[in-house]
Each structure stands twice: as structure tokens, then as C-alpha cells.
A and B are shown apart, each in its own frame.
Chain A
Amino acid sequence: MKGMTIIVKNISSFVKVLIFLFGIYIILFGHLTPGGGFAGGVIIASSYVLLMLAYGREFAEENLSLSMTSKLDCLGALLFAAVGLFGLFYGAASFFWNFIHQKSWWGEPFNLLSAGTIPLSNIFIGIKVGASLFLVILILSSFRLETSASEKE
């Protein structure tokens, strides 16, 4: 499966950057405009999936390998849990305590840094959802090689 025709390859290599940028925008401005961690993460995953469909699995593997994605996936989840636990241990308050906003360290409404831990957890959720969904598609397609191998012999 060596990917699609030249036209698709050229366009997708350009469009992938745009999709990726759009995903980053959706994640970062999650607390101001509609969107957020989930939508942005899925958009980032779809940019990598586009690359994989256009160029074939091996090319995508070099770009973002299987083990790297699963590490990112676990890392994103751990960081999100850390945001929750930090609230627990820091002010001895409760689990998901929005300590940045409650202590009003920085940011006033309507600009990028405004909502305390919400942008932070948006970013971590975005990493996690993006990495895990790309991992699913990668696993599903890598499994195909094994079946076609068994069909051959």
C-alpha cells in the first residue's frame, strides 16, 4: 500500500500543516471559542491520518512512530491526572481544584490566559486524544499487513 497518486500526495503534504495548525488553534482557544481539548485533539489526529492515507503507513511511521505515539498518549493522560492531583496536594483543597483561577494568579476574562487550569487541561487532553486516536488507526492498518501476509502463504 504505497499511498495514492502524486496529486494527492502533494496536496496532502501541504494541507496537513493547515489542519494541524487549525487543531492547535481549536485546543488553545478552547475556553474562549467553541471547541476544546477533544475537538482539537481529534483534528490533530485526522491530520496525521491524512498523511498516513496519502503516503502509506511506512512514511507516517517515520513521521510519528508507534511507540512514540503510545508514549505521548500515556504522557498526556498522566499530565491531565497531574493537574487534578496538583489541586489536591497544593492547597490541600480538593481533586480538580482550579487553583490558578481561584488564587487568581494571572489572566482576566476574554484573553488567552484567562481561565486558570482550563487551558492547561485543554492542551493535555488535546495531546492525549490526538495521540490515542492516531494510535488506533495505526494499529488497525498495521494489523492488515499481517492478514495479507497470512493470505499470501
Chain B
Amino acid sequence: MTIPLPVFVAIPLVTAFLLPLFGKKGKAAATALANLATLLLLVSAVTLVGQSRVYEIGKWSIPLGINLVLDGLSCLLLLAISVVSCATMLFSVRYMEQYTSKSKYLSLFMLMVAGMNGVVLSGDIFNLFVFLEIASLASYALVGFGCEHEELEASFKYMVLGSIASTFILFGVALVYGNTGSLNMAYISKAIQSSGMNAGLAFALCLFMTGFGLKAALVPFHAWLPDAHPSAPAPISAMLSGVLIKSLGVYALVRIIFNVFGVSVSVSWVLISLGVLSMVIGVFLAVGQWDFKRLLAYHSISQMGYVVLGIGIGALILARGGNIAWASLAILGGLFHLVNHAVFKSLLFLTSGSIQMSTGTRQLKELGGLTEKMPLTRTTCSIASASIAGIPPFNGFWSKLIIVISAVQAGFLSLAAVTVIVSLVTLISFLKIQRYIFLGELPENLQEVKENKGTMAIAMASLACLCVLMGLLLIPSLRESILEPAVTVLTDGMRYSTNIINM
């Protein structure tokens, strides 16, 4: 049966409104309801794979009302969001026992999921701004959940930069409405195709790129990420760097550039430079870190650089009118790395959370020799570090390989060399993690450390085996249904508007 699209936003919203009513005694029921909701979302996301539909809200035709668009790209993002949020919700059932007012935490978590689903599905730029605002407001509050010194300062810094980015995006929306007279993405791209890009729309595009670049923590705007992620509770930093910066930042940037404004050579050069900058600076800043979560946060920046680089190369080939096969290969590498990074980065943050919960610290110097004390965390962490560093059988390797091949194909040998060097440096820093946390001798105050059983183990184990199985996504049968439609959505760029209108 066909699932109506607003279900993806309605379920998390209704659960979010219900959860604060549970209060102290209903905590178990609240957690169960929240887990049920994320599971339901996962099931409905899986059933919708490969379909593409337009859903008009209120039965109003396209320019009048708002329409929700499900095409390859948003379906891929929906899958990533629901997988990561399901695992993180399972993990936080036990991890959040350390904090008070758990039902409010769950409600904010569901609001963040609703905001991200709303952003990924919406076909209207103002609606995209509103749901982006919901997801970021929920994440500001969740970053400051523990109310300690660092967490409050980090959430204030994140909130200031986030609010500036949202005001930039709103200003861009106002400019686009002023110049094209409509808010619907399909109608805007049609107006741009017919009347061409005037200076106002170019200025709006710059505003969008700064705003969404700031949400995606690309280099010139990455100031908030290394502070926000370590101080957030572990499941929240897993959601933040796993999915939030992707769906709010990269997805919106890519959707606006490819489908609404159309790809141009200068824009794709900006994308490539942003990608390379964040790749290089992220990894070199990460090497010197001794705090486990801060190191992971810097790696998020550099891995996001991979994604933006892959998509930027594809955009450049499209803008220059090169052959479509190369461009789709580059974009395939970028998107596949986006999904891989969502899975293994959230797994890494979950393992850091379980280490912090049982040992109480996350400084690499104070840890060591946890192999026999925490076997499950050891295996999941090593699987995730192997896949982030790009060791063959795991999923990180395949996507990095595709990006390197597409860079070589497109003639950017220097870029390919930079990518390989950066992945080597990532490998070094992740070996450092393995060395300091798991090998070496056990410090005396950590003798009675014990493994985290229960839902935390299930969450970590499921993400770990996903890491291993994701490599299979590249075999042709699976690829056609999941990755290929997402790539075709981007490669046929401006024809998006015609597809929407006649769908």
C-alpha cells in the first residue's frame, strides 16, 4: 500500500508532542513509544525505496500549496536518517540514564528527526527553511543538554553561528521570491531557465551557499563543530555528525545548486575548493587531538570534504558538458560516501559514548588496554575505524576508491593525490586511537570496568554489521534501486522542474 508522504513528518511530530506528557513515572513507556516511532519510520523508509512521487498538501495544485517531493536523492537520505536515528535511539535508552528529564530528551530527539525528514522531503524553499529551523533549534538545545561549563558555551557558539546561517538562508529565500515570484523549487528553476540568472539571484545563491555551508560545517565556517560535538551527549553527537550536517547542509546545498539554480563552472569550482579545504584542514587539525570525541569531530569535517569534493567534480564535468558517465560516477562516489560516513561515524561516536559511560573519561592518555574488558566495543570500534580509514573489505574503502577514480578520470591528478594523502593521515590517527584505547596496559583505576550490555550492545552491533554489508550496495542489482536514482536526480539537474510538474 502506498504510504502518504507526510507520514514521515507526522509520526515523529505526534510522538514529540505526546512525550512530555509522560512525566517521571511514565519513563519506560515514553522510551518504548519513542523506539516504536523510530522503528516505524525505518520500516516505512525501507518500503519507499526506489519510488518517486509528488504529494500536494491540502490537494492544492503545485504553485498554490506546498508539495512534498520523494525522488532518488531524498529517498536515499531518508534511509540514512532512519537507520542512524533507530540505532541512536536504541543506544540512548540506556546511555541517557545518567541525565535527568529523559522524556524531554526523547521529545527533542523526535523533533530533530521530524525536522530532518521535513527538510529532505520538502519541495518548497520556505518550507525547507522552517524545517531546517526546527532541526537546528532542537540540536542547539540537545548540545547543551548536560548544562556543564563546556556544554553551555559550545551550545551558545553553535546557536549564534546557526542563527546567523538561518537568517542568511531566509534572506536568500526573500531575494529569490523577490526575483522569481514563486516559492516552489520547480517554478523557480523554470523561471531561472527562462529569464536567466540576474545579479540578485547570484547574490541569493552566495547567501544560500554561506548559510548551508555553515550548517554543513565546511572549512571557512567549521568553527562550531569541534566544540559542539564533544560536549553533546554521545547519541546526540552521533546524530549530529552522522546525519544532521548531511541532511541540513549538504543535501540542501546540492538540491539548491543542481536542481534549482543549475550547475555553472564557477559554482562547481567553489564546491571543489570547499571540499579540498575541509578535507585537508580537518585531518591536519585532527592529528594533534587527545580528546577522543574532538578527534572524531575534526574527522567529520574532513570526511564531509570528501563528499563535497566528489559532488563538486561531478558538477564541474556537468557544467563543462563532459560525458555524463564520468559525472555520474563522481556523484555516485560522493553520495555513497555520504551514506557510508553516516553509518560509520555515528558508530564511532556511539563507541566513544559507551567507553565514556563505563570508564568515565574520553581522554586518550587516561585510557588503555580495554580489549579484554570491553570486547564488543573493541570489535565495533575497530570495524568502524577500519572503514573510515578505507581498509578494503569495509564500505569506506569503496566510496573513497570511486572518488579517487573519478578525480583521475576527470583529469585532476593533484586532487586524487590529495585524497590519497588525506586518507593515509586518517589511517594514522585511527591507529593512534586503537593503540591508546584498546592496546597497551590497563591503568589501575580502570580495573573494574565492565562491558555495556543491553540495548547499547544491540545498537553498536547492528551498525557494525551494516558497516560491513554496505560494500554490497555496489553490486548492480542493489545499486540500481538505491544509489542510481539518487545520481540521476542530480545529473539531470534542471529537468527536475519538468519532472515535478508533469508527475
Contacting pair A74 B20 (CB below 8 A): yes
Contacting pair A95 B6 (CB below 8 A): yes
Residues from chain B with a CB closer than 8 A to the CB of A94 are 4, 6, 55-59
Q: Indicate with 1 or 0, residue by residue over A74-101, a CB within 8 angstroms of chain B CB atoms.
A: 1001100100110110000111111000
Contacting pair B17 A93 (CB below 8 A): no
Contact among A71, A88, A98 for B21, CB-based, below 8 A: A71
Contact among B14, B21, B57 for A81, CB-based, below 8 A: B14
A114 within 8 A of B: no
Residues from chain A with a CB closer than 8 A to the CB of B56 are 94
CB distance from A124 to the nearest CB of B (A): 12
Residues from chain B with a CB closer than 8 A to the CB of A93 are 59
Contacting pair B58 A87 (CB below 8 A): yes
Contact among A85, A95, A102 for B57, CB-based, below 8 A: A95
Can you list 26 A-B pairs with a CB-CB distance of less than 8 A?
A71-B21, A74-B20, A74-B21, A78-B14, A78-B17, A78-B18, A81-B10, A81-B13, A81-B17, A84-B6, A84-B10, A85-B10, A88-B4, A88-B10, A94-B6, A94-B57, A94-B59, A95-B4, A95-B6, A95-B10, A95-B58, A96-B57, A96-B58, A97-B58, A97-B59, A98-B58
Residues from chain B with a CB closer than 8 A to the CB of A102 are 59
Shortest beta-carbon contacts, A-B, top 8 = A95-B6, A96-B58, A77-B17, A95-B57, A78-B17, A94-B59, A74-B17, A74-B21
CB distance from A85 to the nearest CB of B (A): 6
Beyond A84-B6, A94-B57, 20 extra complex contacts between A and B, CB < 8 Å: A74-B18, A77-B17, A78-B14, A78-B17, A78-B18, A81-B10, A81-B13, A81-B14, A85-B10, A87-B58, A88-B4, A94-B4, A94-B6, A94-B56, A94-B59, A95-B4, A95-B57, A96-B57, A97-B59, A98-B58
Residues from chain B with a CB closer than 8 A to the CB of A84 are 6, 10
CB distance from A116 to the nearest CB of B (A): 11
CB distance from A98 to the nearest CB of B (A): 7
List the B residue with the shortest CB-CB distance to A71.
B21
CB distance from B3 to the nearest CB of A (A): 11
Residues 93-118 of A at the B interface (beta carbon under 8 Å): 93-98, 102
**Most-contacted residue by chain B among A85, A88, A93, A94 (CB, 10 A):** A94
CB distance from A53 to the nearest CB of B (A): 26
- B residues whose Cβ falls under 8 Å from a Cβ of A: 4, 6, 10, 13-14, 17-18, 20-21, 55-59
Chain A residue total in the interface (Cβ 8 A): 17
CB distance from A100 to the nearest CB of B (A): 13
CB distance from B149 to the nearest CB of A (A): 15
- Between A and B, how many residue pairs show CB distances below 8 Å? 42
Residues from chain B with a CB closer than 8 A to the CB of A85 are 10, 14
**Most-contacted residue by chain B among A88, A93, A95 (CB, 10 A):** A95
Given A94-B56, A94-B57: A70 and B14 interface contact (C-beta under 8 Å):
no
CA distance A74 to B58 in the complex (A): 24
CA distance A77 to B12 in the complex (A): 13
List the A residue with the shortest CB-CB distance to B60.
A94
CB distance from A81 to the nearest CB of B (A): 6
CA distance A88 to B58 in the complex (A): 9
CB distance from B194 to the nearest CB of A (A): 29
CA distance A94 to B57 in the complex (A): 6
Residues from chain A with a CB closer than 8 A to the CB of B6 are 84, 88, 94-95
Q: Indicate with 1 or 0, residue by residue over A40-76, a CB within 8 angstroms of chain B CB atoms.
A: 0000000000000000000000000000001100100
List the B residue with the shortest CB-CB distance to A73.
B20
Residues from chain A with a CB closer than 8 A to the CB of B10 are 81, 84-85, 88, 95
List the A residue with the shortest CB-CB distance to B67.
A94
List the A residue with the shortest CB-CB distance to B57.
A95
CB distance from A141 to the nearest CB of B (A): 18
CA distance A85 to B13 in the complex (A): 11
CB distance from A132 to the nearest CB of B (A): 11
Residues from chain B with a CB closer than 8 A to the CB of A77 are 17
CB distance from A92 to the nearest CB of B (A): 9
CB distance from B223 to the nearest CB of A (A): 28
CB distance from B480 to the nearest CB of A (A): 31
Residues from chain A with a CB closer than 8 A to the CB of B13 are 81
CA distance A46 to B150 in the complex (A): 35
Residues from chain A with a CB closer than 8 A to the CB of B21 are 71, 74
Residues from chain A with a CB closer than 8 A to the CB of B58 are 87, 94-98
List the B residue with the shortest CB-CB distance to A88.
B4
Residues from chain B with a CB closer than 8 A to the CB of A78 are 14, 17-18
List the B residue with the shortest CB-CB distance to A128.
B17
